[in-house]
Chain A
Amino acid sequence: MLKNKYEYIAIGVVAFVIIAICVFLEVCYPYHYYWQEQNALFSDIYTLFGPYYYYKYAGPILQMLSFLVILLILGYVPYIIIRKTGKKVLANVIITAVILSDIYYTYLRSPFNEEYRPYQYGLSHHDFEQTLSVETEYYFGNYRKVIDNAMKADNPNIVMGFYYNLANAQLGLLPDNILKYDPKELGTLWKIGEDTPIAVINMMNDLYYALGDMVYAERAAMMSCVFSPNNKNMKMLKRLAEVNLVSADTLAAMKYLRYLAYTPIYSKWAKEHTPGKMKDGARLSIETKRKYINKQDTLRLGDNCRTILIELLESNPDNELALDYLLCTDLMLKEIGTFKDDYDHYCMQRGNIRLSVLYQQALAIFLAGTEAPKEEWERYISMPDVVQEFRQYNSHRGSEAFKGTYWYYFDKEDNNTKRR
């Protein structure tokens, strides 16, 4: 047993140091994107401060500091007990329990624990961080950074492939870059169902929001909350607010804005987007998005994304993002005939020519396959190099020298755009 209060103070200092190390490990060991992503892509984590998204460093620090304060209070109790009653054994037990509980708490949230969240998704800690970095940069609209981070990834996965393509599409570069990355994941063949992984469901709202389909963006955001019990995913609530602002459903938008206004991270955003008090930038962004929404008043039969993309294009022929996704989906499925029909309908007939090497290469396959006359080649192929390269490819069909062309993909690569 300890002899005087200085020894207890010494124990307190040691405990404090241990706790400080725990805090350091808690905050610094996991890469910072992990913390940015609380309640976002993978998580339904609640912090001690409620369902707050994107604290960056502040979240875990505040969380750990609160834990620390609680522990210090708990640790102070035995000191008082000792002074008043002399129950030293009990005091030591409590101090030990306090220290062990903090170590255990830190262990639970560390990569040394098999239940550590990234492992549940089959990802290493490092891959998890890289995956989150791609999603997070997309969230902040840093599309170039999304592409860079995805390109730098050691083990690209479907999340990275999905956001790589979505970021490229936002920059109008989808057809130029889709063949440069594996997995070639567009997300257009994913469906929301009971067997869909939660990470996939969480991504789908981004795709449909970008495309302009507010009904499915809302559905995906809602499903993201529903499929993860007790999840009040702030990012999804923000998306629900956005969707309803774009759809001009003020009542519904206000429901989510009121909620968001009480979160430290989103309160500013919520105030800037409140109808009647909207800032110019926010209004412009919402109104721009509103131009692309589908206004048809009918039921959708099935949740086939092709139907959705066609409806969006019928509703707004200028929706180039939807057009690229439609054409690229055709190409990734190697459905050249469907691609040609879509290209004719949405590009040629509407005078909206999408000049891209990818589309030109795909058209060359169709024209060669149908033994099209010279006039047809001249009508469709505007890039003379494509004809020349196509001849070269055909004389070395399947050669790896042509890797990165659609011809090589068509002949050699697996179609890894899967239905999920």
Chain B
Amino acid sequence: MPQLQQAMVRNRLLRAMAPEDFARLQPHLEFAAVQIREPMVLPDRPVEALFFVESGMVSVCTAHEDTQIEVGLIGREGLVGVSPVLLCVDRTPHLHFVQIAGEVLGIGRDAFCDAVARSESLRRLLLRYIHTLMVQAAQTAHAHAALGLEGRLARWLLMCHDRVDGDELTLTHEFLSMMLGVQRAGVTLTIQNLEGAGRIRAKRRRIEVLDRDKLKALTNGSYGVPEAEYDRLIGSA
């Protein structure tokens, strides 16, 4: 198999890091295709591996008995599992699972920790990424408190759109209802209204983003804050 080149990867953290840092990680990276609903990090279990997302999307969810609500979204800008590992805890209460099928580059915890221990620049880059994750979670809390369902759904669609190729998102209303912590009927109603206003086009199990600016206008500034932090601190590549 040809050696993985930094210029060939799609993950933005891998692309942004110094070539020598990439070289430290590269021998340990293992390519894998991941399927929808596949767990990447289980709640309260030791994190054994981390995953640089190349395509697709991973959700971070609270995992209470009957209500799961999404508290984080990780796409090709991110590294699944980095928060507990880099912050020196071995597990997290939150479930991380695949929401849109795609590809990841996995690395074992020990190899990852070894590389980080040898490189201050790598550690700093990844700590800055963890900061953007914390900002994202805080903005999600803000959106839940400050926005009605239109604004929360619009924000979520924008964040999802940022992480896929093309304008079509494959999502059921049931799935969105779980992500946003709202009854499915509320999602269906809101999708119909966003469609009526020309912001999206809804087909069976698919939502096409038509007008990002109109969606942004619904979010009262709560979309885009972690994204801007990421661009500022890590790079807009």
Q: Do A and B bind each other?
A: no
